[in-house]
Amino acid sequence: MFKSTFKHSFSLLHVDYVKLYQNWNYNNVISPYYRLYYIDEGEGFISDQYGRLTLEPGNLYLIPSFTICNLNCDDYLSQFFIQFFEESPDGISLFSNNRSVMKLPAEEIDIALIKRLLQSNPGRGINRSENPEVYEKEVYYKEYLSLNNRMKPHLAFENQGTLILLISKFLKLTNLKADETKSISSKILDTMSYVQLNLSKNITVSELAKRVNQNQDYFSKQFLNHTGQRPLNYIHEKKIERAQYLITTTTKSFLEIALNTGFSNLPHFSKIFKQIVKVTPGEYRNKNTFLN
């Protein structure tokens, strides 16, 4: 567990303290990076497929990458926020099996760490707009990642340590959920891990069933029962998550990205991308590259 956990690294994107009002009202927000909030005044709301959480003073909230959610404030809200990328050699997220908003009470050490991160990284706020459609642009990602590349080593280590300390609290929640789901077949868990490790391949459901020595129909039913998704849908979802990350953070062509995520041709990739993201790869890149 120690070695597998510490293969992950984190790159700071934004950190700031902001005051928000009724115009902080955005639906279907999905980002290739994490968001962490500490609320010190007021009230807001985050909702996802699992329900609605109230943003309340004294609490920490973590939104893992690629978690679709709605953000809104009815009156007034002030928060410290941190946005950061996660990287790992195999592309598997620490929260790959928990794409939901998480809430924990903040301790004094957490607040001190967040304030220290803000103090050590001046000018790392968004400073453009509160609207994700405006500030989630490839040009801005590259600007802040460039700042990271020029950062002095001692500060880079400090930032990394701070993010790891803050994330560790939420990993406890993930571990608790894992304990609650021990009834999930080891063959299904192995299959999910295999998919994450082989996103660049053309994975078929028959191949997955054969790997675990099960009839394809039986395997598909078991996968649906345990995960709530059909195997092919799960494969496509994970491939498109990876494609979104590549579109946002690289200049690779759509054909290169299609091939890197295991699609044999561009039309099929584009079709599946639009089914899941609701826009074409071109529309997604335009939205995340150019100013409105």
Give residue 178's pLDDT band: very low, low, confident or very high (50, 70, 90): very low
In single-letter form, the type of residue at position 234 comes to Y
167 or 29: which carries more pLDDT confidence? 167
Stretch among 59-73, 91-105, 150-164 having the lowest mean pLDDT: 91-105
145 or 101: which carries more pLDDT confidence? 101
- Output the CA torsion sign for 230, 265, 28, 111: positive
Separation between Cα atoms, residue 207 and residue 224, nearest integer Å: 16
What digits encode the pLDDT tens for the residues 187-215? 887 888 788 778 889 999 999 999 999 99
Contact present, 84 and 114 (Cβ < 8 Å) = no
Give the number of other Cβ atoms within 10 Å of residue 271's Cβ.
12
Backbone φ, ψ for residue 278 (5° rounding):
80, 0
**Which residues make Cβ contacts (< 8 Å) with residue 203, sequence separation at least 6?**
194, 195, 235, 262
Contact present, 54 and 103 (Cβ < 8 Å) = no
Find, among 170, 154, 55, the residue nearest to 110 by Cα.
170
Judge residue 75's burial from the number of C-beta atoms within 10 Å of its C-beta, 0-12 exposed, 13-18 middle, 19 or more buried.
exposed
Q: How far lies 151's CA from each of 9, 121, 157, 241, in Å? A: 15, 10, 10, 29
Give residue 171's pLDDT band: very low, low, confident or very high (50, 70, 90): confident
Determine the average pLDDT of the residues in 160-164: 94
**What domains lie within the chain, and their CATH numbers?**
2-180 (2.60.120.10), 186-287 (1.10.10.60)
Please give, one letter per residue, the 3-state secondary structure of the chain. Answer: CHHHHCCCEEEEEEEEEEEECCCCEEEEECCCCEEEEEEEEECEEEEECCEEEEECCCEEEEECCCCCEEEECCCCEEEEEEEEEEECCCCCCCCCCCCCCEEEECCHHHHHHHHHHHHHCCCCCCCCCCCHHHHCCHHHHHHHHHHHHCCCHHHHHHHHHHHHHHHHHHHHHHHHHHHHCCCCCHHHHHHHHHHHHCCCCCCCHHHHHHHCCCCHHHHHHHHHHHHCCCHHHHHHHHHHHHHHHHHHHCCCCHHHHHHHCCCCCHHHHHHHHHHHHCCCHHHHHHHCCCCC
Round the average pLDDT of the chain to a whole number and report it: 84
Determine the average pLDDT of the residues in 50-59: 93
Q: Is residue 46 over pLDDT 90? A: yes
Separation between Cα atoms, residue 75 and residue 112, nearest integer Å: 27
What digits encode the pLDDT tens for the residues 96-134? 767 789 999 999 999 999 999 999 999 888 765 555 555
Give residue 225's pLDDT band: very low, low, confident or very high (50, 70, 90): confident
Backbone φ, ψ for residue 173 (5° rounding):
-65, -40
